[in-house]
Amino acid sequence: MLRRRQFLAASAAGIAAAPAFVRGQNLNSRVQIAGIGCDGKGWSDIKEMDSHAATQMVAYCDVDLSRTEKVKDLTPGAPVYQDFREMLARHGDSIDAVTVSTPDHMHAFIGLDAMRQGKHVYCQKPLTHNVWEARQMALQAKQSGVITRLGNQIHSHTFYRTAVAAIQSGVIGKVKEVHSWCAATGHGKSFHISRPKTLEDVPKTLAWNQWLGVAPERPYGGWKIYHPWGWRDWQDFGNGALGDFGCHILDPVFTALKINAAPIELTADHTGLNDEVWPAQTTVKYVFPGTDWTARPALPITWYDGGRLPTLRGTDFPSNQALPKSGSLFVGEQASLVLPHVGAPFVSSGALLDEVEGLNHYHGWVDGIISGQQPSDGFDYGGPLTEAVLLGNVAVRYRGETLKWNGKAMQFTNDDSANAWLRRDYRDGWDIAAV
Ligand SMILES: NC(=O)C1=CN([C@@H]2O[C@H](COP(=O)(O)OP(=O)(O)OC[C@H]3O[C@@H](n4cnc5c(N)ncnc54)[C@H](OP(=O)(O)O)[C@@H]3O)[C@@H](O)[C@H]2O)C=CC1
Ligand SMILES: O=C1CO[C@H](CO)[C@@H](O)[C@@H]1O
């Protein structure tokens, strides 16, 4: 007799062949989900998945047990672990899918392990902490035949969907260049640029070794220095403002222009980098191969953060046009479009845009698991998007130098030393095997 886990794994393997409604009728129960990372964004991911009529949250994992009270209330009696490996080993048979909402440095370690065990994965953005890991996640998703989705929920928001449809309808003509920016600074979350000198005791509820995971050992710094929240600033755990917002803000650029190739080259400028945190302000000039939606064979996309903004030169917006704090400017052959980060898009010509309805991003993943249809931003999309974002932070280490990139070979071709930054050294016992 097939056990439940084998049944769903077999279903996943047969996804392409099986008509959606037959699989749907044959599902013997609701989609059973485990939440990994239970507070912060994890809590919102878990609540959203729980609110789907065809799901059941069955287990939880968080390295800090003091942050699991909400999930205990949500699903009384569900087992709660501090190590996701133990959770999957003990309850794997009843877990179909997982949400991964931990700090970025652990996304690949957890996501790859879950996919290797046949679990569908919803993973927070950026998909991973380095370029090599993003490539592995996309390869593993394909090999495992599981349904995946990047946690960039604004992808499904009415504003982003409206802008994508408008650009693809030709309202601004073919696109000549794109500028994307974000107000957040590269190291403004922890209030530190070097490791704290005074050390606090690790709270009793926190498994610090598990929190560090793949990253090199260092002492627990104190509340919000690394965990929770502050980790974004630190090179060992996060990727600064570009890593934090790139997958949100560049997502409609990739979707609207159907960018499915890696950048050809990139050049970064910034306000200064030490060995610990990301620069306060960064600009990265990318060049991508053109697509059917671009005016020329190459498309420049420039990223700005920490309060840096593009100019409106070359657009027909008035020079005093206010720009949102974060967003994108698409410069087209006929007009330009500004898409604020979570705001209504507007066009320099004043054309009114047809509103496209928003969708529930989280439920879209669950629906994909049930129907066998991969949602629009699975790891085949989120992997390359994350690679492009994180390449920007490799370029940051070579300020002013134009790095040439061969995406297929996953290699910089004009400066071999830059290739060392594509992946990290993993801590003993926390290695990630290549797919
Ligand atoms: N899509 C969106 O709009 C948003 C996305 N995010 C993304 O969500 C992720 C989490 O960010 P955020 O919630 O702010 O981070 P936090 O540091 O606030 O919370 C992360 C949670 O994961 C737990 N955790 C850490 N490591 C592990 C592990 N190895 N296994 C299980 N649980 C673990 C943390 O426990 P502990 O208390 O010990 O840290 C905490 O409960 C990031 O990738 C971030 O980029 C964040 C905000 C919004
Ligand atoms: O959208 C978001 C809101 O801000 C958070 C903190 O910078 C981000 O991590 C997140 O992705």
Q: Tokens 């320099």 map to which residue?
A: 348
Interface predicted TM-score (ipTM) of this complex, two decimals: 0.90
Longest dimension (CA), the chain: 70
Q: Where are the alpha helices (DSSP H) in 77-212?
A: 84-91, 107-116, 131-144, 158-168, 208-212
d(CA 123, CA 36): 10
244 C-beta closer than 6 A to ligand 2? yes
170 in the same domain as 106: no
Between residues 169 and 199, which one has the greater pLDDT?
A: 169
- pLDDT of 199 reads 86
181 in the same domain as 96: no
Q: Where are the alpha helices (DSSP H) in 145-184?
A: 158-168
- Smallest-distance ligand from the CA of 65: 1
54 in the same domain as 12: yes
pLDDT confidence bin for 29, thresholds 50/70/90 = confident
Whether 134 maps to a domain, the answer reads: yes
304 in the same domain as 251: yes
Q: What is the CA radius of gyration of the chain?
A: 22
Average pLDDT over residues 121-147: 98
Cα-to-centroid distance, 62 and ligand 1 (Å): 9
339 in the same domain as 286: yes
d(CA 376, CA 382): 9
Average pLDDT over residues 75-86: 98
**CATH number of the domain encompassing residue 94:** 3.40.50.720
98 in the same domain as 19: yes
258 in the same domain as 330: yes
Cα-to-centroid distance, 51 and ligand 1 (Å): 20
Whether 295 maps to a domain, the answer reads: yes
A 10 A CB-CB count for 322 gives: 7
103 C-beta closer than 6 A to ligand 1? yes
User: If you average pLDDT over every residue of the chain, what do you get?
Assistant: 94
- pLDDT of 28 reads 54
Whether 357 maps to a domain, the answer reads: yes
Q: Answer yes or no: are the C-beta atoms of 378 and 363 closer than 8 Å.
A: no
pLDDT confidence bin for 394, thresholds 50/70/90 = very high
**CATH number of the domain encompassing residue 246:** 3.30.360
Q: Where are the beta strands (DSSP E) in 90-153?
A: 97-100, 120-124, 148-151
270 in the same domain as 287: yes
pLDDT confidence bin for 12, thresholds 50/70/90 = very low
Q: State which of 45, 62, 244 you would mutate to test the pocket of ligand 1, scoring each by most atoms of that ligand within 8 A of its C-beta.
A: 62
Using CB atoms within 10 Å of the CB of residue 236, give its burial: 0 to 12 exposed, 13 to 18 middle, 19+ buried. middle
Residue nearest to atom 8 of ligand 2 (CA): 244
Residue 288 in tokens: 């991508």
Write out the residue range of the structural domain in which residue 353 sits. 156-187+238-362+387-422
Cα-to-centroid distance, 416 and ligand 1 (Å): 34
Number of structural domains, the chain? 2
Whether 17 maps to a domain, the answer reads: yes
36 C-beta closer than 6 A to ligand 1? yes
Whether 230 maps to a domain, the answer reads: no
249 in the same domain as 100: no
307 in the same domain as 407: yes
Q: What is the DSSP pairing of strand 55-61 with strand 31-36?
A: parallel
Q: State which of 124, 153, 202, 377 you would mutate to test the pocket of ligand 1, scoring each by most atoms of that ligand within 8 A of its C-beta.
A: 124
- pLDDT of 18 reads 31
Whether 410 maps to a domain, the answer reads: yes
Whether 220 maps to a domain, the answer reads: no
Whether 433 maps to a domain, the answer reads: no
37 in the same domain as 59: yes
395 in the same domain as 338: yes
